[in-house]
Amino acid sequence: PKTMTTRFFPAYPWDKSSLKSMPVDLQQFKKLDAYALEVNVKNSVEELVKALLKQARTDLEKVRAIWMWICHHIEYDVVGYHNKSQLSSKPRDVLQMGKSICEGYAELFEHMCSLAGIQCKKLSGHAKGHGYKTGQTFTGDSDHAWNAVYLEGRWHLLDSTWGSGSVDDSFTKFTYRYNEFYFLTHPALFINNHFPDNSNWQLLKPTLTLKEFENNMLHNSNFYMLGLLAAHPETPIIQTVNGKASVSVDCRSGTLFMFKLKGTDEHGLMTLKKHGMKLDIYPQKTGSHKLEIFAKPSKAEASDDVYKCVVEYVVECDSVDKAMRFPKALHQPVGPSWFSERQGFLRPSHRKPILHTNDGRCSLTFTLGKDISVLTSLHTDGSSLAENMGRRHVLQIHRGNQIELKVHLPHAGSFVLKIYSKKKSDPGNYDYIFNYLIRCLNTEVKWPAFPQSYSKWLQDYEILEPLSGLLPANRNVQFKLKMPGVAKVLVQAENTHPLTHNRGCWEGTCNTSGCREVFVMVHENANHSFYSHVLKYEVETQ
């Protein structure tokens, strides 16, 4: 066999060109893969290889057929793992039993390749596999085995144990789950969780030291299979600075993310970017916290429509930033993104996830896509905002395809503005789209809700005054409303006050004495004899 004067792969890290160490067209393997899965020969390894090679011409195809067969017919021996003395890794025994541990997978692979006339080596070393703890060190004998095969003038790496499936946390049950990632993996990605005893078999120039291997981020295969490119920081243990830690992930595009810090997503602020995500974490307890980042493609096939864990950190927190406690209602990610744009909320006036207001008021604008109806609500911890009141602290104003959301906070604190939408033509419910965090530190703030509006209040109507839904008692109050295309507008207090039409606005005054409620009513056209209620104001009690 050729000695290791093989061509090495260029310097680590990964050049992001391909997940494989040679060009592989999986579509072209479809027929071969299907054939290999059906081969059912158990009496001898020689007979099995002979059968598999019937459909394979090139060396690459031969290796592929052997790989496919092993990944789908040999299961990991969880019982044997706990009692290695009884275990044989001889290819013939592995074939007979139909199960083995990594040693047996690698020996069977090597033997089948040699029968097929392909150079193959069994490699051993340390792996960040089952039971690996973030940041741990590796000592003593190697704990895993895999293979290198010689194809088209150079060596390539593969791991049929990890290609075949996975073992549960308690290490008592194996599940077949084919993983394409470990077939001819690019060495710069393979080194992420495989460290060979002989560093030449990293196939990298320069090679990594064991210490570098231990300190490097573990990206599991989902990370690369989902098209993610990098995660920052690049070390698995993060220290908070003044109670805060930041993480980001880069990806090609259109990926959705979520995170869990000690199993919950309450103590962070995640924003979605076109090419990834950014996350600021504010643990509310000191100590060590496990942080998991999950991802899924936004245009997922039904089968892939689950978030998969792509990277794990440990966050070491030595001080807590109490000011960064978020309301329970806050939903991740926060702020606008390509996702809210795709749902028809274009050109947001505020691109950041947090809005700060000193006087307790703020206003956001968007250009709306066609045929969109919007619903908004304001939430905070505690009972100060009941469900129906949460809606009345946000006012929608439509001008053409522009929407303005005016927010008046009932008091100081942290609030969540949630935005829902549906197609106007759809009868169904509104879908949640995105949310903002609004903060106000000014304890003087105390805005009343906006007036209550009814179904006859149309999208192109606008209140100019009074904006407050709570009117002073025994006063003359000035009304000014934009209500195009109606015949008459009245304000009903103790008495009825008609408004007059003036330059596109309905204007007039109304006296609030002697009543608890004031209604605005509209006569939609001159032929109607009845009025529709469109707005309701409360009057302050004496």
What are the DSSP calls for 34-75, one per residue?
HHHHH----S-HHHHHHHHHTT--SHHHHHHHHHHHHHHH-E
Residue carrying the six token digits 């560093």: 199
Confidence (pLDDT) at 303: 61
Please tell me whether the peptide bond between 466 and the residue prior to it is cis, using omega within 30 degrees of 0: yes
pLDDT over 80 at 403, yes or no: yes
pLDDT at 3: 54
Cβ neighbours of residue 525 closer than 8 Å, sequence gap 6 or more: 486, 487
Query: Rounded distance, CA 200 to CA 283, Å?
Result: 42
Question: How many C-beta atoms surround the C-beta of residue 437 within 10 A?
Answer: 20
pLDDT per residue as tens digits for the range 357-379: 999 999 999 999 999 999 999 99
**Residue carrying the six token digits 């060596």:** 155
pLDDT of residue 326: 96
Contacts of 471 (CB under 8 A, 6+ apart): 477, 512, 518, 537, 538, 539, 540
Quote the pLDDT of residue 285. 96
Token pair listed for 266? 């309450």
All domains of the chain in start order, with CATH: 26-212 (3.10.620), 225-317 (2.60.40.10), 338-450 (2.60.40.10), 453-539 (2.60.40.10)
pLDDT digits (tens, 9 = 90+) for 480-539: 999 998 999 999 999 999 999 998 899 999 999 999 999 999 987 777 678 899 999 999
Element (H, E) at 536: strand 532-539
Q: What is the pLDDT of residue 38?
A: 96
Residues 175-196 pLDDT 10s: 999 999 999 999 999 999 999 9
Instruction: Return the SS3 of 17.
Output: coil
Q: What is the pLDDT of residue 13?
A: 84
pLDDT band at 5 (very low <50, low <70, confident <90, very high): low
Residue type, 511: N
State phi, psi for 303 to the nearest 5 degrees.
-70, -25
Burial class, 206, CB count within 10 angstroms (exposed 0-12 / middle 13-18 / buried 19+): exposed
Residues near 226 by beta carbon (within 8 Å), at least 6 away in sequence: 251, 255, 295, 296, 297, 308, 310
Model pLDDT, residue 208 = 95
d(CA 241, CA 413): 24
What is the reported pLDDT for 305?
78
Please name which of 219, 288, 221 lies closest in space to residue 249, comparing C-alpha atoms. Answer: 219
pLDDT tens profile 208-262: 999 999 999 898 899 999 999 999 999 999 999 999 999 999 998 789 999 999 9
Query: In Å, how far are 33, 74, 310 from 224, measured between CA atoms?
Result: 22, 25, 8
- Tell whether the torsion through CA atoms of 84, 86, 92 and 96 is positive or negative: negative
Using alpha carbons, select from 159, 188, 206 the residue that is nearest to residue 16. Answer: 188
Whether the per-residue pLDDT at 198 is higher than 90: the answer is: yes
Task: Give how far the C-alpha of residue 166 lies from the chain's centroid of Cα atoms, to the nearest Å.
Answer: 23
CA–CA separation, 510 vs 25, rounded Å?
Answer: 77
Q: Which two tokens stand for residue 378?
A: 């304001």
The residues pairing with 368 across neighbouring beta strands, listed in sequence order, are 345
Structure tokens at 293: 């980042």
CA distance 275 to 279: 14
Let me know if 515 is a catalytic residue.
no
Looking at the chain, the whole-number percentage of residues with pLDDT higher than 90 is: 82
Q: Which of 33, 77, 159, 265 is catalytic?
A: 159
Confidence of residue 4 (pLDDT cuts 50, 70, 90): low
Give the integer Cα–Cα distance in Å for 299 and 481.
44
Q: What is the pLDDT at residue 112?
A: 98
Strand bridging mode 470-471 / 532-539: parallel
- For the stretch 282-306, pLDDT in tens is 999 999 999 999 999 887 555 667 9
Catalytic residue among 126, 144, 289, 379: 144
Provide DSSP, 485-517: T-SEEEEESSSEEE-EEETTEEEEEEE-TT-SE
Are 409 and 360 within 8 A, CB to CB?
yes
Specify the long-range contacts of residues 428-435, CB closer than 8 Å, at least 24 apart.
430/373, 430/375, 431/343, 432/331, 433/339, 433/340, 433/343, 433/345, 434/331, 434/333, 434/334, 434/335, 434/336, 434/337, 434/339, 434/340, 434/343, 434/345, 435/330, 435/331, 435/334
Residues in the chain: 542
User: Is the model's pLDDT at 134 over the cut of 90?
Assistant: no
**Contact 157/125 with Cβ under 8 angstroms?**
no
pLDDT value at residue 398: 94
CA-CA-CA-CA torsion sign (445, 417, 368, 501): negative
Question: Hey, how many other C-beta atoms are within 10 angstroms of the C-beta on 136?
Answer: 11
Identify the pLDDT of residue 86: 80
Catalytic residue among 71, 102, 120, 251: 102
Per-residue pLDDT at 524: 78
| Residue 1 pLDDT > 60 | no
Q: What is the DSSP track for 204-249?
A: BSSPPPHHHHHHS--B-HHHHHTTEEEEESSSSEEE-BTTBEEEEE
Contact, 8 vs 201, CB < 8 A? Answer: no
| Cα(231)–Cα(277) distance, integer angstroms | 10
Say what the pLDDT of residue 525 is: 76
Average pLDDT of the chain, as a whole number: 93
Active site residue 331: no
144 among known catalytic residues: yes
